[in-house]
Structure 1
Amino acid sequence: MTLHGTKRKIAVLFVGELHDSGFNACAFQGVERLQKRDDICLEVITGVPFEAQAMTAALTGAANRNDSVIFIGGQGNSVTPPIAKSFPHRDFAVVQGEVIGPNLASYDVLQEQSAFLAGCLAARLTRSGVVGHLSGHRVTPGLKGRAAFVAGVAHMDPSIQVLTGFCGTQDDNCVSQTWAEAEIKAGADVLFTMLNAARNGAITACRNLGAVQIGNVLNWCEIEPDVFIASALARIDRGVEHAALDMIAGNVPDQVCHYGLQDNDIVSLSLAARVPEELAYDIARIGQKIALGEIMIPIDYDGTEFLPES
């Protein structure tokens, strides 16, 4: 692992839009803090398509130019391991990853924990008895989040119906609006979204049709308070920082590094001021049980999926 002067050259690779008001934007907050350090030289790679060939090419180029590469997102689980093997003298990390190796580490902010709490809240707030979930890419963090949300709903009231779907994009607002409108018209009055730039389409659907939304990653209660009743926070930026600091120290963890509700607000459910105090207390109590390991959150879902009518 070659050092250039006194600085380590680290590339941070993003799939899709960087300023996406979602997952990437949160991760970039960690990059911005790292840019202030005098022992790192950062290259930020953005706009990589969610295609195996494009991601592989971007990773290979980054490894040729840098000492270390951090891949942002679960999309890196499939493409990073073979590149890490091809560059044994480089360090690699996947944030929201589940892969490890001699020179490969993974850092996983357990957003499924806040997604479970989102499901609990949705179950208590729905008046129709139907709630919705909408995500984009079928990557591990999104699949875990969906399973956790559905489990949270069932934890509170198993009779409530959950409409769940993956619209295939994190950034296309026309697509997300179509899907969100379809779920709302099918009865969902509370919608949990795990999207990036495409969240604006879901916001428009909720605003037009009178549904409330639970966001994720960022605190959407502050950004769009008329639509959002809560937001399932997940400080991906902290995972980015941990990955870079381990690279500087020459540390390659031999197991996935997990961060959850027990780790100083890295994961939490932010509630709008209009959520009743008694309900907020109940959600906080459930969160404490998760942090203590008294509630186990499933990571798989094998139920039906919702599809909009063509």
Structure 2
Amino acid sequence: MGPITDRRALLTTATAAGLLPLLGPLAAAAASTTVAALFAGKVDDRGFMQAGYDGLKLAERQVPATIAFTQGIPPQPEALAAALRELARQKPHLVVAHGGQNNAAAKAVAAEFPDVAFVVTQGNVTGPNLASYEVLQEQSAFLAGALAGLMTKTGIVGHMSGIRVTPGLKGRAGYAAGVAHVNPSAKLLTNFSGSQDDNALSRKVATAMIAAGADIVFTMLNAGRTGAVEACRETGAQQIGNVVDWTTIVPDVFVASACADSGRAVYQAVADKAAGRFAAGHVRQVGLETPEAVRLAMAPRVPAEVRDRIAGLTADIVAGRLTVPHEWSGAEFPTPA
């Protein structure tokens, strides 16, 4: 995506030194709900950031809202806080910090701007003017783990992610629990490489996991997913994606995808603010009971008996008969040099 020039998007991509100069006060835009969003990544990554951006654009059309956003902020607390301050100074009705990596920064900056509402998507922080909206991707990750445990032929499955943020850790815990629930003897290889977007690195990690016996690898990545796709395609291993339905995008590699549309959290926060029901001080959660937001998508080649088992597990989670854990402890797969 090129530079943002639309009058509705008053901020542009961050430079290495910080934000580019603002083009004008957001509060001076149209008299609709004004929203300024931060994306600590690229909004065309075909992953988590793009899902959030799509939710923001949906809010622009349907709420309606006047939007601005900045992207490409390094995921360090100081950089995120500086970007959030720039957004808040425009005095929008709502500042959206997309992703749990913004927890600490949003908590600090919200306290500095008590007259501006803040939300962290996939977050767990609250305050007098701060809420978190969370799509429960650990629930679809549990189902992904169950599918991997049921379909592995080697008895070894993999999990790959980048940054150790709370939603990613919860997703890993859910996946591990799903594997163990249906196949207690299966071995899990799990790795956080430090980057969501490095394709060379993800290819190394996936290749190493496959060489260690993993025949199904669950990737919780953003722009760096392509490297893992290449490794799976070259070796014949299958992959499970996340965020969107990857079985329709790369059908030869993806056997399933743990869909968790974080854009729904962005959209819902904006809609709630516009309707006067934004609940600062609370965490709002959306799970498998809302399948358009959270579900496991499966490729046509998944056997009927596996589909039936996944359907039963879904019903158990929605009914509260099965609880998805948020924590996992165990040895991790080393990141290749």
Deviation at 1:76, TM superposition (A): 1.1
Aligned residue number for residue 276 of structure 1: 303
Q: Contact 2:193–2:335 at 8 Å: present in 1 too?
A: no
Q: Contact 1:112–1:141 at 8 Å: present in 2 too?
A: yes
Distance 1:30 1:112 in 2: 20
Distance 2:117 2:28 in 1: 12
Confirm whether residue 53 of structure 1 aligns to residue 59 of structure 2: no
Confirm whether residue 228 of structure 1 aligns to residue 228 of structure 2: no
Confirm whether residue 246 of structure 1 aligns to residue 287 of structure 2: no
Aligned residue number for residue 297 of structure 1: 324
Aligned residue number for residue 190 of structure 1: 216
Aligned length: 309
Question: Unaligned regions of 5+ residues in structure 2, if any?
Answer: 1-26
Alignment of 1:124-203 (within 5 A): 124-203=150-229
SS at match of 1:48: coil
**1:41/1:174 CA distance change after superposition, 3 Å:** same
Task: Encode CA deviations 1:228-275: one digit per residue, 9 max, x unaligned.
Answer: 000000121111111111222343323210000012431100000000
Letter in 1 for 2:31: T
Q: 2:143 aligns with which of 117, 127, 133?
A: 117
Confirm whether residue 35 of structure 1 aligns to residue 60 of structure 2: yes
Deviation at 1:194, TM superposition (A): 0.2
Distance 2:193 2:63 in 1: 42
Q: Contact 1:3–1:9 at 8 Å: present in 2 too?
A: no
Distance 2:303 2:63 in 1: 47
Q: Contact 1:69–1:93 at 8 Å: present in 2 too?
A: yes
Aligned residue number for residue 315 of structure 2: 288
Distance 2:30 2:314 in 1: 46
Aligned-pair RMSD on alpha carbons? 1.4
Aligned residue number for residue 95 of structure 2: 69
Q: Contact 1:17–1:171 at 8 Å: present in 2 too?
A: no
Letter in 1 for 2:233: R
Distance 2:123 2:238 in 1: 31
SS at match of 1:221: coil
Q: Contact 1:203–1:213 at 8 Å: present in 2 too?
A: yes
Between 220-229 and 74-83, the greater mean CA deviation after superposition: 74-83
Deviation at 1:278, TM superposition (A): 1.6
**1:106/1:3 CA distance change after superposition, 3 Å:** farther
Letter in 1 for 2:216: V
**1:7/1:308 CA distance change after superposition, 3 Å:** closer
Letter in 2 for 1:304: A
Identical pairs, percent: 46
**1:174/1:5 CA distance change after superposition, 3 Å:** closer
Letter in 2 for 1:273: P
Q: Contact 2:63–2:270 at 8 Å: present in 1 too?
A: no
Distance 1:280 1:39 in 2: 39
Aligned residue number for residue 8 of structure 1: 33
Letter in 2 for 1:160: A
Aligned residue number for residue 4 of structure 2: none
Deviation at 1:47, TM superposition (A): 0.8
**1:132/1:264 CA distance change after superposition, 3 Å:** closer
Question: Unaligned regions of 5+ residues in structure 1, if any?
Answer: none
Deviation at 1:6, TM superposition (A): 2.1
Q: So what's the TM-score if we normalise by structure 1?
A: 0.96
SS at match of 1:232: strand
Q: 1:18 aligns with which of 17, 26, 43?
A: 43
Q: Contact 1:11–1:66 at 8 Å: present in 2 too?
A: no
Letter in 1 for 2:206: A
